[in-house]
Every structure is written in structure tokens, then in C-alpha cells.
Structure 1
Amino acid sequence: MNIYKNVSLKQFSYWRVGGCADFVFVVNSISELKDALDYLYKLELPFLIIGNTSNLLFSGAGVRGGLIKLGPGFSYCDFKHQVVTVGAGIYLPYFVRQCVNNGLSGLEHLIGVPATLGGAVYMNAGSQRKSLSENILSVDSIDKKGNLITRRESDCSFSYRNSIFQLNSEFILSAKIKLQSKSISLIRRECLTILRSRNKKFPRKKPSCGSVFISNPVMYDTYGPPGKIIEDVGLKGFKIGGASISSQHANFIVNEGDATDIDILSLIAIAIEKVKNQTGFQLKSEAKYVTEDCRLMNADAAALALIN
């Protein structure tokens, strides 16, 4: 187990925003994870497990507690016919490529999602109106007391960009995933098509967390996806401090160079307010906010708390 003290969170954050964390632990096994938890319990410090941080916004005041990151020991995938056992720490695009190389289809829509498998399970990640849960058989996790838990897909309370793991305090360790055999060339072609589309639509040159807001199906049918609605209310390109609503895709908030967490939360709050005033729908965030006291909350809730 590696322990780092007083770590700048900008080096972890996809938004390149955040103060310093008291501790960051990198663990490579369940026993090391338990050791990290014991260490933090003895110090009476709060803690969170973080993945690739691709949807996290860290407090500019830093984090008083411990952040636990799964190391290479959790970055594995074991293929047995059409079922894959995959560690929570594996980088999702790399895992999808391994599936392609084994002629297994079903996760192509995740090829451009810069998350770990654990984060993707937690968020029930997906694109193109698809979700990872459609292919999950079971998920292994561990609670804060060190008890190992296995849940079938039907017990994970998966819904659109949501799961039971957002409601409990368990840490995702691995998952079993069922895929379908298909021609490698066909799968690879589909992945390339998706990547080209994402690269064309989404801002790639400036730090962001990807899509900030979740698409509400009823809102989508009435007004369209969040990016279109935010653009329609006149906020595309709108700036506060060092952050802006992307002029390329309005569901992205980008760091123009010196953005703070307050800049980003302020933009989220303004988008929520304007969209609600003009459509009646309240945007919900896909992004999460890590508070100074090491709590995880929805970025929309943090943004509204800022202005209220």
C-alpha cells in the first residue's frame, strides 16, 4: 500500500480543479484496502474511494480526510467464453478494447468513456441511450467493516445513471459481465465510428468532466437532450471566472485555465435556474462534488446550496 500526504487534487481531477487532500492511498489488494480503512478509522478520518475522477469536482479548499484509489492490482479482466470477470480499477476504454480483441460485443458504447470499471458500475455509465447494467451479471463489493458482498444485477437497483452503490457506503471491487460473440472487424468498426462521433461532438482540448447533466427521458422527448436545452436558453459559451459552458457542446463545462470549484458550481446553478424557468424541468447532474469534509454529493445539490 502506498500512502501520500498533502496531495494536490489537480493532478487527479479531470477538471484540473481542487485543493490538497490530507491523504491519498493507492491499494492493490483487498487486504491493502482493509489496512487503509483500519488506518483511517484509527485516525478518525472520513474517506472516499475514487476511480479515474472523470466525473468528480473537488473542493478548492482541499479534502480533510483520505481518498482511496484502486491500483494496478484491481486492473484485471479474466475471459471465460462470453463471461468476463473484471476488476474495478481497470480503465474502461482499455477493457472495451480487450473485449474487442476477444471478439466480444456489448460494450462498444463505452469505448470513449474515461472512467474505471468501478466508477462505471457506480454511475451505471453508458452512452447512445445504453447502460452498462444491461450486460452485468453480478457485482462484488466490500463494506466499511470489511465484509465482502456479492449482488446479482437484479439486486443492484440499477436505473438510468444510478445504482444501489450511490445509496450505500460499499466499495465496488469487481463485476461479472456477459457479452456476445461477434466478428472482431465488425466490433472494431463500430468502436471507431463511436470514437469519431465523440471526437467531433465533444470538447477534448480543455479539462472537463464530460457531460455534466443527466438526460431526463421525459424532458428529452419534449425539449431534447441537456446540451440542446442549455444552448436554447442562451448559455452556450457563457463564462464565470475561469470556467465556461463549452461553445462546442453545452452539456460540458470546461476549465479555461484557472477555474475554481466555485466557478463551475456557479455555472451549474445558473444552467439549472434558466432551464427550469423556461421549461419547468430541473436538471440533475451526472457530476459529483467532493466536499472539504470528504463527503460526496451531487454537483447540482452543491451548486444550489451555494446560491441559497
Structure 2
Amino acid sequence: MNKQFIYKELLNILDEKNIKVDEPMKKHISFKVGGPADFLVKPKTEEELRNVVEFAKKENVPFIVIGNGSNLLVKDGGIRGIVIELSDNFNNYEIDGNIIKAQSGALLAIIGRNAMKNSLTGFEFAAGIPGTLGGALAMNAGAYGGEMKQVVKTVRLMDRDGNIFELSNEEMKFEYRRSLLTTKDYIVLSAVIELQPGNVEEIKEIMADYSNRRSTKQPLNFPSAGSTFKRPEGHFAAKLIDDCGLRGLNLRGAQVSDKHCGFVINSGGATAKDILDLMFIVKSTVNAKFGIMLEEEVKILGED
């Protein structure tokens, strides 16, 4: 891979300030770990995104798309090829009546706050999830009995050939922490969210309650990727981990949170390998004691 050639070609597509070379991924994921990406780019428009995708395909350069990195763990060897970050440069939204149209890089917290200001209810569950709309749609993110499936009307997508199309809620095949995007390598461009008219004060009260619950029960003051493991059917991952006596277990700075056992955190100085090793210990211990193999909710990227 000729990095000089790739950089020169990317300059024909993007502003120089939106192209980073050998960019440490720890700057871009909430775990604060991870080696460098060969290139990290931030397109501002769908046209720029499509041009990057078409260039990568033509030159056989691998690429991945991320949001704000709140549900990712990047390995210490980093990521080869191009990381396309759709976050602060790809986050426009508009509200028309009870309909919100938002780009995939828009933060759920921003959408939730503006839904509240416009007396729209139904998005309260998502307002405290620290991610972007694109990531939330990919995994059908949810909390407190709500999930994206309940509020999304349509999703606009791009495939790896640069073709753009729109899918309905049903066509997105939303399930628990899964969607069509779990198996199809599409890029989320934007979505239409349909909410209901509500009372501002009631919405504010619900959001404050959820925020208080999060801050009292979750280790928000440490780097993590949120809930580390999916909920096994008929069980709770945090309880299984706690019942194995793993609460607070520390491995070179990677730690099972003593505040919420469902979170593996970076308590200070951990590498991606430390976090992965601790996750392996947790999974192996739970499986040995209960015969249940936990599945990661965090998405793992990159090379060792």
C-alpha cells in the first residue's frame, strides 16, 4: 500500500484538515486505547463520502466506517487502510412537526435534547446513550425499555459501490442489539425518526430520571465502551459476572467495574490487549460456572 499515493488521492477529495495520517485511534474511541489508523478521514458530505468509498474500492484499499467510537475497541496494532469517521462533520438534523431527519453522525444526546425542546416524546431512552445515530441504528441501541426500532421510520444507506438507497423500519430487520447492518456492510447516511407530541416538563423529568439512574449505577467517570456484553437470554450479564466473584477484578489497568459488573473499564494505563484479556477471563469464568458464553456488545476492530 503506497501511503503517499493514497494521501495525494485523498487530497483531491477532502480538505487537508480532514485527513489524518497514522492517527492514534485512542483519540477517537471512548475506551482511550488503540493503535494508529493508516488514514483517518472526516467527509462533510455524502458526495465526499461516496468519492472516498469509490477510490478505496478502485485501489483495493480496505476501509471501515465509525461514528464517535463509543462502542468500539481498537486493538493495539491499529487499523490498516482508511477509517472514515462520520461524527462531528456529518451531524446535521432538522425537525418538522413530529419528524426528525438526522445524519448518521448526529449524537443521540443532541437529538434527544432538541426533541424535548420541541415537545416530542419517544426518544427519552436514547438521549443518554453516548453514541451517534448511525451506530445506534446498526445495533438497535436501547435502554430503559426503549429501542431504536420503536422510533425509526426509514434509513438512508450507501453500499460499498457508492449506491444510495432507503429502507423501511421493517426492512432494517431490527432485533435485540442487531439489525440488517449486523450482516450487511452498508453505511448509514441518515434516518427519519417519528416521535409523538408530548409535554416538555414531563419529557424533561423522564430524561432527568434516566440520567440520574445512569450516573448512580454506571462507571461514567472511567473510559469504557458502555455495556461490554450482550444480555444472554433469560439472564443478566452483570449478575452472572458478579456471581462469579469478578466484581472489581483488575488486570494491568483493565477492570471489571465495581460499580456495574457489566462494564469493563480502563481504570488507568490499560492497553487494548489488557482489556481483551480481561474480557476473555470474564467470558471463560462465566462459561465454566454457568455454561453460558457471553457475547461482546462492544465491536472489536484492528490488528494485534
What is the TM-score normalised by the length of structure 1? 0.90
The equivalent of 2:68 in structure 1 is 52
Q: Does 1:61 align with 2:77?
A: yes
Q: Which of residues 146, 150, 157 in structure 1 aligns to 2:173?
A: 157
Alignment of 1:119-268 (within 5 A): 119-219=135-235, 225-268=236-279
CA distance 1:127–1:182, shift in 2 (3 Å): same
CA distance 1:20–1:39, shift in 2 (3 Å): same
1:275 deviates by: 1.3
CA distance in 2, matches of 1:56, 1:111: 19
The equivalent of 1:70 in structure 2 is 86
What is the TM-score normalised by the length of structure 2? 0.91
1:79 deviates by: 1.6
1:160 deviates by: 0.3
Q: Which of residues 31, 53, 57 in structure 2 aligns to 1:41?
A: 57
CA distance in 1, matches of 2:31, 2:53: 27
The equivalent of 2:131 in structure 1 is 115
CA distance in 1, matches of 2:88, 2:31: 23
Tell whether the 8 Å contact from 2:54 to 2:162 is kept in structure 1 after alignment: no
1:17 deviates by: 0.5
The equivalent of 1:19 in structure 2 is 35
SS of the aligned residue for 2:41 comes to strand
**Residue identity opposite 2:76 in structure 1:** G
SS of the aligned residue for 1:217 comes to coil
Deviation larger for 278-287 or 232-241: 278-287
1:204 deviates by: 1.6
CA displacement, residues 52-81 of structure 1 (integer Å, 9 cap, x when unaligned): 110100010111111001254531222222
Q: Mind listing any 5+ residue stretches in structure 2 that lack a counterpart?
A: 1-13
The equivalent of 1:222 in structure 2 is none
Tell whether the 8 Å contact from 1:8 to 1:21 is kept in structure 2 after alignment: yes
SS of the aligned residue for 1:13 comes to coil
CA distance in 1, matches of 2:233, 2:98: 31
**Residue identity opposite 2:133 in structure 1:** L
The equivalent of 2:296 in structure 1 is 285
1:40 deviates by: 2.3
1:20 deviates by: 0.7
**Residue identity opposite 1:61 in structure 2:** G
Give the root-mean-square deviation of aligned CA atoms.
Answer: 1.3
Tell whether the 8 Å contact from 1:27 to 1:71 is kept in structure 2 after alignment: no
CA displacement, residues 64-99 of structure 1 (integer Å, 9 cap, x when unaligned): 111001254531222222121111010111110010
CA displacement, residues 170-226 of structure 1 (integer Å, 9 cap, x when unaligned): 10011111111110010001000100110000112211111101112322xxxxx21
Deviation larger for 126-135 or 60-69: 126-135
**Residue identity opposite 2:290 in structure 1:** T
The equivalent of 2:95 in structure 1 is 79
Tell whether the 8 Å contact from 2:74 to 2:302 is kept in structure 1 after alignment: yes
SS of the aligned residue for 1:38 comes to helix
1:130 deviates by: 2.2
CA displacement, residues 214-245 of structure 1 (integer Å, 9 cap, x when unaligned): 112322xxxxx211210111101111122111
Q: Which of residues 243, 261, 270 in structure 1 aligns to 2:281?
A: 270
The count of aligned residue pairs is: 288
Q: Mind listing any 5+ residue stretches in structure 1 that lack a counterpart?
A: 220-224, 294-308
